[in-house]
Structures are given as structure tokens and as C-alpha cells.
Amino acid sequence: MRWAFRHIEVQSADRRTKIKKCSAMYKLFVIFAALVPLILLLRTIFAGRSKKASHALSEFKKQIDLFVWVILVIIGGAIVYSIGELIHSLWR
């Protein structure tokens, strides 16, 4: 009986150390996540962008904008088609 009780105590101590390790990892992750905006802000203030990078970024934004509009047109077409099918089925 005592051996089983000791095993449970050891197991709970192992869980505490696992929780402490996870807690430390969580703290590191939170600190890193908090530092990212600060690093980006400092880089923007002091470094600036080159013209090539700025041009590439604007072209990428244009492509993403076009992609979003295509997706919206497809969704809009599907909605119009489904409404038309609904009206057609009710019309009969």
C-alpha cells in the first residue's frame, strides 16, 4: 500500500515540474510575442524601406486585392444563382 502511495506522490511531483516547464515556455512565448511589435516599430522608424522592396510590396498588395475581388465575385455569383434557383422552384 505504501509503495502505491509513494508512486502517486512522485507522479504528482512530476506533474508539477511539467507544469512549471510549460509555464516557463509559455512565458517565453508571451515575451517574444510582445517584443515582435516593438521590433517592427523600431525597424520601421530607423531602417525605412528601399524602393525595390516598396515596389514589390505594392505589386503584391495589388495581386492580393485582385484575388480578393475574384473570390467576392465568385461568392456573389453563387448567391445570385442560389436565389435564382429558389425563386424558380417557388415559381413552379
Q: Which domain holds residue 37?
A: 1-48
Residue 39 pLDDT more than 50? yes
* Residues 38 and 54 occupy one common structural domain: no
- Rounded to whole angstroms, what are the CA distances from 85 to 18, 76, 88, 89, 91? 58, 14, 5, 6, 10
Number of domains in the chain: 2
Cell, residue 1 = 500500500
74 against 10, higher pLDDT? 74
d(CA 71, CA 47): 36
Q: For residue 87, name the pLDDT band (cuts at 50, 70, 90).
A: very high
Q: Which residues lie below 8 Å from residue 57, measured CB to CB, with a gap of 6+?
A: 49
* Residues 1 and 21 occupy one common structural domain: yes
- Sign of torsion, CA 4 10 15 18? negative
Q: For residue 54, name the pLDDT band (cuts at 50, 70, 90).
A: confident
Residue 50 backbone zone (phi > 0: left; psi -120 to 50: alpha; other: beta): beta
* Residues 24 and 40 occupy one common structural domain: yes
* Residues 44 and 87 occupy one common structural domain: no
